[in-house]
Chain A
Amino acid sequence: MATTKLGFIVQRPGYKSENPKLALTHAIASQSVEIYLDDDDEVTCDVAFVGEGVLNCIKDQKALDNYQFNSTESHVKMGLLCDLNIFICREDLEKYGMSESDIVLNAEEMGGDMDVKVVPYEEITKMMEEMKHLLFF
């Protein structure tokens, strides 16, 4: 059995480009990657929002109302439902005057039991060091 760990690092704000959403949809695709792998092999994905990327996690996004497509917030929740580890840089949140009360923290209303992890950048660095490959979005 072998595991390849991928770290998705989201640095850009939502809606300005497609990158943050593509980071989440690709990470969520780890749920079905086994069709390309031998039995017991796996690919796992952790996602970290840093810099302007933390703005993707603001709650109560109205993308469906304004653009008629799913919000990045809903993709964060889908990621939690798929048991992805989702990290949010505490220092970068604070840089934008935000706290945990401003962001999506879990997907409880969808039946999820994972929470996002608001952590110091140091912990995100540790996560990155544990990954085999890093993908920057």
Chain B
Amino acid sequence: MGKLTIGCFASLVGSTNLDFAVKLAGAALDKGHKVDLWVSGNGTMLSLQEQRAFKDYSYLEKPVKELMEKGLNVTACEACAEARGYHDSNTLEGVKRFSMDWYLGSTFDADRVLHIGGE
């Protein structure tokens, strides 16, 4: 089985790129692949806890929690998060926070890297 590294810089609300990234991560995990998901820039919004589900907006807290239980490795850019007021105290349990070199480190042994830039 392979390793997929996904980098997503798009916000949780305002685009469906993060939805796509999370669905792709789930599909890859189901096939037995290892998946690292890096969120940076506005993508760090994914790391926030207590997201509220509305029918008109993307809501990914529940699927991300379920995927993390299956082995999805989610890491948020710490500086990008802090700049937006997303702190350790309001980060979804299980989501890690590191600096940007973590993403590059993850690409080192990745079989594929899918980078989805921001809006």
Contact = CB atoms under 8 A, between A and B. Distances in A.
A70 interface: no
A33 B104 contact: yes
A29 B77 CA distance: 12
A41 interface: yes
B101 A33 contact: yes
Nearest to B79: A25
A48 to B, nearest CB: 14
A80 B103 CA distance: 21
B41 A22 contact: yes
B99 A37 contact: no
A36 B109 CA distance: 11
B98 to A, nearest CB: 9
Nearest to A44: B104
A64 to B, nearest CB: 17
Given A18-B42, A43-B107, A36 B101 contact: yes
Interface stretch (B48-56, B62-70, B110-118): B110-118
A43 B118 contact: no
Given A6-B107, A18-B41, A43-B107, A136 B115 contact: yes
Interface residues of A, number: 26
Contact of A17 (B100, B102, B112, B118): B118
Interface size class of B (residues with CB under 8 A): 20 to 34
Given A17-B118, A18-B118, A35 B101 contact: yes
Contacts of A134: 115
A57 B51 CA distance: 38
A135 B101 contact: no
A127 B6 CA distance: 22
25 contacts: A2-B108, A4-B109, A6-B107, A6-B113, A18-B41, A22-B118, A26-B40, A26-B100, A29-B99, A29-B104, A33-B104, A35-B101, A36-B101, A36-B104, A36-B106, A36-B108, A43-B104, A43-B107, A43-B108, A133-B110, A133-B113, A133-B115, A135-B115, A137-B115, A137-B117
Given A4-B109, A43-B105, A45-B104, 5 more contacts: A6-B104, A19-B117, A32-B101, A133-B112, A136-B117
A-B CB proximity, top 9 nearest: A36-B105, A29-B100, A135-B115, A133-B113, A29-B101, A33-B101, A33-B104, A43-B104, A32-B101
Interface of B: 7, 9, 40-42, 80, 99-110, 112-113, 115, 117-119
